[in-house]
Structures are given as C-alpha cells and as structure tokens.
Amino acid sequence: MMSMGTVLFSGVFDLSWWQLILVALGLTHVTIVGVTVFLHRCQTHRALDLHPVMSHFFRFWLWMTTGMATREWVAIHRKHHAKCETPDDPHSPQVLGINRVLWGGVFLYVKESHKPETMERYGYGTPDDWLEHHLYSRYVLLGLTLTGVIDVVLFGIVPGVLILVTQIAWIPFWAAGVINGVGHFFGYRSWPVADASTNMFPWGILIGGEELHNNHHAFPSSARLSYKWYEFDIGWLYIRIMELLGLAHVKRVAPVPRFVEPKVLADLATLQAVLVNRYDVLARFASDTRSVGPGEHDRVQAMRGELAALWGRSSAPQEQIVRQLQAWCERAEASGVAALAAFSRRLRSYA
C-alpha cells in the first residue's frame, strides 16, 4: 500500500527537488519562447514567418500553458505601440505608475482584452481557423486543466500543482509585469525613441530577449532584438536555428549603418540612409556633442530639433527634404561649434 507521502509527492517521474526546479524552468522557458517568437515577433510585428508546424506548436503550447488568445495578445501589444506612454496605452508605467503595471499588469491585460474596439482595430491578421474558433478561443481553461492533470500525473500532486502554478504565473509576471513595467521605467537606453522604453539588461535570456526593450521600440519590425556587440538575444538564437532547419524565414532586422567618404553635398541616397538609420543618427549626435560648452548647448539642441524634424516631413517632396538636409549641414559647419561641424561630416558619410 502506498503511503500518503508517496501519493502526494510521487508521479511517473520520481524527481529530486532540484530536478523539479529545472523541469519548471524548462517548461516556462518554452512558453517564453512561444510568446517572444510567435506572438510578438511573428504575429504582432511580422518580422518573420514561421513554418505551419512551428506556428501550430506554439499556438497549442500557449493554449495549454497560458490560456492566452493570439488575437487578444497581438491587439493589445499593437495598441501599446500606437498609443505608447499616453492615457490610451494599455499598460504604461509612466501614466499608471510602476507598481500598478509591475504587480497588476495581468489585470490591465484582461481589462483591455474586453474592449471590442481594441480587438477590431488592432487584432487583424491573426489565426482565424477552425481550431481558433472551436478550441483555443472557446475553451480557454481546458488547456490549463489538461496541463494541470499532466503535471500531477508526471510529478505527483504537490510538485505537479506547484509546477502548474509556476507555469500560470510566469507570463503574467514577466511579460505583463516586468517587460511592460520595468521595461518602461528602469534600465539603459541605446536609442532616443519618443517613449520611455529601456533595455533592462544586455543579455536577454530569462525573458527570451525581451529584456532589450528599448531596442525593440526603436526597431519594432526587427526579428533580432540585440544590436550592440555586447548584447545577446536568445530568442534570435532560436529563430536562426529554426531558419537553418527551414522552419522560419526572417523578413526584417534592424538596419546596420554603412559609411563612405563624406560627400561634398548630401544627396537623395544620403537622405534615405539618414532616414533609415535615424535613431543611430540621433544617438551619434548625442555622443558627438556631449562635450560642448554651456554657451553652445542651446544652439546644439536647436540643431538637434531641426535634424529630427526632417523625418517628420514625409509628405514633402524628397528633393525639398534633401535641400533642407544640405542647408542643415551648411549651418552646422558654419556654426563655429566644432562638434557640430564634425557631425555634419559624419552625416554626409551615411550610405
């Protein structure tokens, strides 16, 4: 006859406590990969295409471990980008406060998911097949229930329940709380984007690469979230492996600036290169002009504003914007500020 301890703590696999921790971390990591690769980079931003086998695997896994609907997740995240750091942002810590987003992010997600206008406007292009209508969206709790049963059978009642709770809580805390909260509050910024996004840590492992959140907001349609030489995006590693196996196709990555000898005059090719690399342009501008004196600071900031305004004039004829870029370079080099003159030469070298 089995003892009560055997019933409570033993399943098909009789694992030690540290082995159970490794199992829980492994299972939750697969869920994180599903969120960052499938929901975020593939479905929301179309940065890559996944083979149907991988897409169906991630949809099934996320249904089993999170109960999240693809359309809801995609719609809420797209709205976040469209309304970032405004009262319409579903989860901005700059508006709602860091504690509310960090600890209550899942409730903000659920609240937004109940808004039909959000789903209608931002949820387009997501799976709309038989499985979505008759299983994943219809029986949301069934997947979590099946996962709980499997965990209990494999690992025992107590370990199985603890692993299930970990699986259920992992995404609400790390994705809805940490990424949406800390990722817009603490960390370093590589790119001067208009929102408050930050890179939480240069090595994106625990949350699948999503730690590099400022990089993502600078280049939202990039399949790779790492950019600097010291940054690591484990999600990108998985994408490259899937690509090598024919299970993924990368469509876009963040641009890498190219430079040539400075042109005498900025031309259309220079303008196009500056527009594509505009965040790199602003980051280098800040770096190159960091040491200007107090008397030059206001002039430098005014020139920065004029430069940034160039890519806000997309409706103007390109020839007109080229002339404005040329005029900016002329003013920078005639300003008497050595840092501005040097940066103008750098600007004319973008290719």
**pLDDT tens track for 234-274:** 999 999 999 999 999 999 999 999 999 999 999 999 999 99
* CA-closest candidate to residue 339, choices 295, 307, 306, 300: 300
Q: What is the pLDDT of residue 74?
A: 97
- The more confidently predicted of residues 195 and 4 is 195
Q: Residue 10 pLDDT more than 80?
A: no
Question: For residue 217, how many other CB atoms are within 10 A of its CB?
Answer: 23
Angle at 295 between CA 292 and CA 297, to 5 degrees: 50
Q: What is the mean pLDDT of residues 56-74?
A: 95
Whole-number pLDDT of residue 290: 87
Of the candidates 216, 150, 149, the one whose C-alpha atom is nearest the C-alpha of residue 184 is 216
Q: pTM for this one?
A: 0.89
Which one has a higher pLDDT value, 170 or 4?
Answer: 170
Instruction: State both tokens at 343.
Output: 């940066």
- Name the packing angle between helices 17-33 and 52-65 (round to 10°): 130
Identity of the residue numbered 59: R
> Mean pLDDT across the chain, nearest whole number?
92
Beta strands in the chain (DSSP E): 48-50, 203-204, 232-233, 248-250
- Domain range summary for the chain, segments of one domain joined by +: 4-250, 268-347
CA distance 96 to 85: 9
Residue 233 three-state SS: strand
Distance CA 34, CA 57 (A): 9
Per mean pLDDT, which range of 108-117, 177-186, 283-292, 324-333 is the poorest? 283-292
Contacts of 91 (CB under 8 A, 6+ apart): 80, 101, 105, 108, 109, 112, 176, 180, 181
Q: How many whole angstroms separate alpha carbon 249 and alpha carbon 38?
A: 12
Report whether pLDDT(42) > 80.
yes
Torsion of Cα atoms, 305 then 307 then 311 then 316, to 10°: 100
Query: Residue 275: pLDDT above 50?
Result: yes
**Residue 291: CB atoms within 10 Å:** 9
Which candidate, 37, 75, 73, 67, places its Cα nearest to that of 55? 37
Cα–Cα distance measured from residue 47 to residue 29, given in angstroms and rounded to the nearest whole number: 21
User: What per-residue confidence (pLDDT) applies to 7?
Assistant: 55
- At residue 317, the 3 state secondary structure works out as coil
Q: What is the pLDDT of residue 151?
A: 92
State pLDDT tens for residues 112-143: 999 999 999 999 999 999 999 999 999 999 99
Residue 307 CA to residue 240 CA, distance in Å, equals: 36
Which residue from 176, 169, 216 is spatially nearest to 93, judged by alpha carbons? 176
Q: Which of 71-85, 128-142, 288-302 has the lowest mean pLDDT?
A: 288-302
Residue 5 has pLDDT above 90, yes or no: no
pLDDT at 1: 46
Task: Using alpha carbons, select from 47, 180, 216, 52 the residue that is nearest to residue 104.
Answer: 180
